[in-house]
Amino acid sequence: MKSPTLLTVSISLLAIRLFNLYTVRSWYVPDEYWQSLEIAHGITFGFGYRTWEWVVGIRSYVSVSWIVIIYNILKFFSLDTLTLLIWSPRFVQTIFSTYSDYCFVRWTQKHSKCSNIFWPCICYMSSPFLAYCSTRTLVNTMETNLTTIALYYYPWSVKNKDVKYLWIVAFVCIMRPTAFIVWFPLVMFDFFAHKRYTVFSFVRYIFMGLTAIIFSIILDSYFHGSFVVTQWNFLYYNILKKCNAHYSVEPWYWYFVSGLPPILGPIFFVFIYTLVKRLRHFNRTDTDFKLVITVLWTLLVFSMIAHKEQRFLLPLLPMIFFVTFPNISLICKQFIKLASLNVVINTIILIYLGCFHQIGSTNIMSKLATIPQNSTLLFLMPCHSTPLYSHLHLNITTRILTCEPNLHDTSNYIDEADIFYKNPKIWLEETYASKINTKWPTHIVMFDQLSNQLQTFLKKENYKKTVSMFHSNFPSARTGRYIHVYTNT
């Protein structure tokens, strides 16, 4: 059978990612909006919401600069409609992901031990978690894209002494400092394999690193309004002050039990088999061995950090799939019906997660975007449960329940969201009813579980339910199946 041309491969990859773009319309994590679109909207249009991470300066504006460029282009040509503001960054992210996928395919063609990568690539492209995140404006998605591209340019052969991959790695690390953990083993392998311990090599490393850091400092200081080194602040607040532990603390083994298995699915067992096989018969110059060591190193270091999330593992997926490709190919060749069924199941999972699970958070914003300009909004929801100005594009007064960590070492600290959910009625009384000059908001947004508790209050203040939007079949303790909007106008 004739091998497909690069053009055919590129078009196929783009078609798959465009399908992902069309399918994925649901809410995943707040960072998709609050650490990207919200910041870019504030910079471009002058109104938005900056979370504490941007106030204290632990996030680099490098990660949102491309969205700022898109928004400024739309603004310049008066094309800043809500539809384009929401979908144009996601479309560009889809293009980034497609190019990343192309680099992944080319990388496996050149360096994988797998003789036929067709089915393994199908499994990779249909991986539900990868597809679920590939079109989202998450810094983790961009980190994964750049990591995959850098893996393509990495000098896997001793004859290849090119270091262009280091430029990509440098900018990945200033954008996402934890990327240093992922890349440390591979950079060390390259350093010793190519004997880069010369004066010239050290000067080149220093030049690359300083260039990336200086660029970041200049850009971040400009947008922050004062001198700031976001990479140091990231380490200070997340590692030394352990502010990230405010959002969740998981046991050390979480990534091995609840992190990696769900996002890999059946591939997890293939990976474990491959892992044991490579460690038993290792070769330091072997590509698979280098990747296995990198994955294990990253998992072990990440396991020492209290706050853990599955999306932090995204950059490891290309490496994991690469080393498992020969075994995936063998399984798919022997059980082609099983392989086809796996792709179908993956697609069904993606459609459900993208179109039906946690869909209310984004759908409700299209309704709120049509309210009058003089309206005021109050979101009585777990903090950052919906997008905000990037999905409203209205310069109106809004309020959300905040959940900032204990930045100032306050004794017995409780964030605003926790205070509210302890006793919603008391919070409302103290925040609005007891203050003479404070007006009740015209619109209140909440999940159905909370609205059931506040029916007496809502009737007393003449609020009527005007919108009810399905959200999820699997609500958590503070969310619900539906999102309701109450209005007193």
**Digit-coded pLDDT (tens) for 246-287:** 999 999 999 999 999 999 999 999 999 999 888 887 777 789
Confidence band (pLDDT; 50, 70, 90) for 150?
Answer: very high
pLDDT above 90 for 179? yes
> Lowest mean pLDDT: which of 157-171, 227-241, 274-288?
274-288
156-168: average pLDDT = 91
Phi/psi zone of residue 59: left (φ > 0), alpha (ψ -120 to 50 degrees), beta?
beta
Which residue did the predictor score with more confidence, 114 or 36?
36
44-57: average pLDDT = 95
Could you give the percent of the chain with pLDDT greater than 70? 99
What's the token pair of residue 95? 């293009």
Phi, psi angle pair for 254, to nearest 5°: -55, -45
Confidence band (pLDDT; 50, 70, 90) for 2?
Answer: low
Burial of 137 (0-12, 13-18, 19+ CB in 10 A): buried
Which residue did the predictor score with more confidence, 447 or 158?
447
Confidence band (pLDDT; 50, 70, 90) for 1?
Answer: very low
- Calpha distance 141→21 (Å, rounded): 13
- pLDDT averaged over the chain? 94
Candidates 66, 294, 310, 292; CA nearest to 180 is 294
125-142: average pLDDT = 97
279-302: average pLDDT = 90
Which residue did the predictor score with more confidence, 6 or 61?
61
Query: Contact at 8 Å (CB) between 389 and 47?
Result: yes
- Calpha distance 465→487 (Å, rounded): 6
Query: Would you tell me how many other CB atoms lie within 10 Å of the CB of residue 285?
Result: 11
Q: Residue written as tokens 């159905």?
A: 448
Which residue stretches of 65-178 are H helix? Answer: 65-76, 82-111, 118-125, 128-134, 139-153, 165-175
